[in-house]
A = this chain, B = another copy of it.
Amino acid sequence: MTDPAAPDALGVLDRITAVLEAFDGDDRGVGISELALRAGLPKSTVSRIVAGLVRQRYLERDGTLIHLGLRLFELGQLAEMPQELRFAALSVMADLRSATGESVHLAIRDGGEVVFISVMRGRASAAPGSRIGGRAPVHATALGKALLAHAPASELDAVLAEELAAFTPRTVTDPERLRRELAEIRRVGVAVEVDEHAPEVAGAASPVFSPSGRVLAAISVCGTSADFDPERWPPQVRDAARRVEARLSANR
């Protein structure tokens, strides 16, 4: 390779994903050079790979600017798991939002982060950053803690092995304290979080299980800390999670 100390990038496949991963969401259109810079690959290589991906419609190019393409969108829509969950949760989420007036989220876990599968903004529109497909840290969100509480021990260990970043003074950064909290969440069936991820934002989340008992996702209510209702939100999300489970097993 270029530099023998290169930590990654062994195969073509990894190079291709490196290029795709270089698209950073918010920007509308990137050039080859910029892409090469971000992916850490030579220009000529990126040029070739992009040409191939454009041919396959995974990317689109408008003059000199490259976008993520149509086929990627289509393939993403075919991913069964998120779609099934989203469909089953749709009406439940709508009910939960009208019952609380707050934002309702559905997410699954990917390592130390949660990924939003479905989002319904509440009236207050407290959390603007949460987009479908967006990510948030697992240890600082109600969703994340609900998911982590029922994760396999090995995966939990892997997450706790990493440094837990502090986002606010109230973020739980001590692994042991988090473990105790997760045990409590398992007992109660609901995770809550106040000001741990962002100031003045609070949420309650409950896990959704498959018939075989694996955690599939979590559903949450999320609003300003002032609006947070510790009496009503937890039972409401717990109830919603049960209803999603029922609908999941129904339509298969």
In this assembly, does A17 line the interface, its C-beta being within 8 Å of a C-beta of chain B?
yes
Given A29-B80, A70-B79, 16 more contacts at CB 8 Å? A12-B12, A14-B52, A14-B56, A17-B56, A23-B75, A23-B78, A57-B110, A67-B81, A70-B115, A72-B72, A73-B117, A73-B133, A74-B115, A75-B76, A76-B79, A77-B133
A49 to chain B, nearest CB (A): 7
Taking CB atoms and an 8 Å cut-off, the chain A residues in 46-93 that contact chain B are 49, 52-53, 56-58, 60, 67-70, 72-82
Contact yes or no, B67 A76, CB < 8 A: no
A-B contacts, 29 listed (Cβ < 8 Å):
A12-B13, A13-B16, A13-B49, A13-B52, A17-B56, A17-B58, A20-B75, A28-B80, A60-B81, A67-B79, A67-B81, A68-B75, A68-B76, A68-B78, A68-B79, A70-B79, A70-B81, A70-B110, A72-B76, A73-B76, A73-B115, A73-B117, A74-B115, A75-B76, A76-B77, A76-B79, A76-B133, A77-B132, A77-B133
Copies of this protein in the assembly total 2
| Separation of A87 and B121 alpha carbons in the complex (Å) | 13
Contact yes or no, B67 A72, CB < 8 A: no
In this assembly, does A138 line the interface, its C-beta being within 8 Å of a C-beta of chain B?
no
Taking CB atoms and an 8 Å cut-off, the chain A residues in 1-28 that contact chain B are 11-14, 16-17, 20, 23, 25, 28
Contact size range, A: 35 or more
A218 to chain B, nearest CB (A): 15
A172 to chain B, nearest CB (A): 25
